[in-house]
Chains A and B, each alone.
Chain A
Amino acid sequence: MRPAVLPTEELMGSGHLACQGCGATQAMRFALKALGPKTALVIPACCWSVIDGSFPHSCIDLPIYHTAFETAGVVASGVKAGLEMRGDTETTVMAWAGDGGTFDIGIQSLSGAAERNEDIIYVCYDNEAYMNTGIQRSSSTPIGAWTTTTPVTNFKKRPKKNMIEIMAAHAIPYIATCSTAWPHDIFEKFRKAREIKGTRYIQILAPCPTGWKLPPELSVEVARRAVTSRVYPILEITENGSKLSVWKDFEPSPVAEYLSMQGRFRHLEEGEMAGIADEVERNWERLLARERMLAAIPGLEG
Chain B
Amino acid sequence: MKKVIMGNHAVSYGVRASEAKVISAYPITPQTHVVELLSEMCANGEIDAKFIKVESEHSAMAAVIGASAAGSRAFTATSSQGLLLMHEMLHWAVGGRLPIVLANVNRAVGPPWSIWTDQNDSLSQRDVGWIQLYCESNQETQDTIPIAFRVAEATQLPVMLVLDAFFLSHTYEIVDLLEAERVREFLPPYEPTIRLDTADPHSFGNLADPGYYMELRYMIHQAHTEAIGVIEKSQEDFGDLFGRRYGLVEPYMCDDAETIIVTSGTVASTTRAVIDELRGEGTKIGSLKIRLVRPFPFEAVYEALSGAKRVIVIDRNISFGLHGIFFQEIKSALYGRLDIPVHGFIAGLGGRDITPKVVREIADKGLAGTDLERDINWIGVKT
Contacts and interface: CB of A to CB of B under 8 A. Distances in A.
Contacts of A97: none
Contacts of B53: 116
A79 interface: yes
Contacts of B92: 67-68
Interface in A54-103: 54-56, 58, 60-68, 70-71, 74-86, 91
Contacts of A54: 206-209
Contacts of A117: none
Interface in B340-360: none
B71 interface: yes
Residue among B55, B65, B66, B196 with the highest chain A CB neighbour number at 10 A: B66
A84 B50 contact: yes
B72 A82 contact: yes
A40 B71 CA distance: 13
B196 A83 contact: yes
A108 to B, nearest CB: 6
Contact of A63 (B54, B58, B67, B198): B198
A57 to B, nearest CB: 8
Given A63-B197, A71-B89, A109-B55, A82 B71 contact: yes
A35 to B, nearest CB: 11
A77 B66 contact: yes
Interface stretch (A45-53, A146-154, A224-232, A288-296): A45-53
A82 B21 contact: yes
Contacts of A70: 58
A192 interface: no
Contacts of A262: none
B185 to A, nearest CB: 22
A38 interface: yes
B70 interface: yes
Contacts of A76: 66
B268 interface: no
A66 B66 contact: no
Given A55-B212, A58-B206, A85-B22, A112 B66 contact: no
B70 A55 contact: no
A40 B195 CA distance: 11
Nearest to A66: B205
A136 interface: no
Given A54-B206, A66-B203, A78-B70, A109 B59 contact: yes
A299 interface: no
Interface in B73-102: 74, 88-89, 92
B66 A85 contact: no
B98 to A, nearest CB: 10
A259 interface: no
A116 B51 CA distance: 11
B207 A78 contact: no
A39 interface: yes
A98 to B, nearest CB: 15
B41 to A, nearest CB: 15
B24 interface: yes
Contact of B65 (A50, A62, A78, A111): A78
B52 A77 contact: yes
B198 A68 contact: no
A77 B63 contact: yes
A83 B197 CA distance: 9
A37 interface: yes
B70 A82 contact: yes
A74 B65 CA distance: 9
Contacts of A75: 62-63, 65-66, 69
A38 B24 CA distance: 25
Nearest to A43: B206
A12 to B, nearest CB: 12
A77 B56 CA distance: 14
B202 interface: yes
A108 B196 contact: no
Residue among A39, A42, A79, A82 with the highest chain B CB neighbour number at 10 A: A82
A86 B70 contact: yes
Contacts of A50: 207
Contact of A81 (B48, B50, B204, B206): B50
Given A49-B207, A52-B206, A62-B198, A79 B55 contact: no
A15 to B, nearest CB: 12
List the 4 closest A-B pairs by CB distance, nearest first.
A78-B66, A82-B70, A82-B67, A58-B203
13 contacts: A38-B198, A55-B203, A61-B201, A62-B201, A64-B204, A64-B206, A75-B66, A78-B64, A78-B68, A79-B196, A80-B70, A86-B21, A109-B58
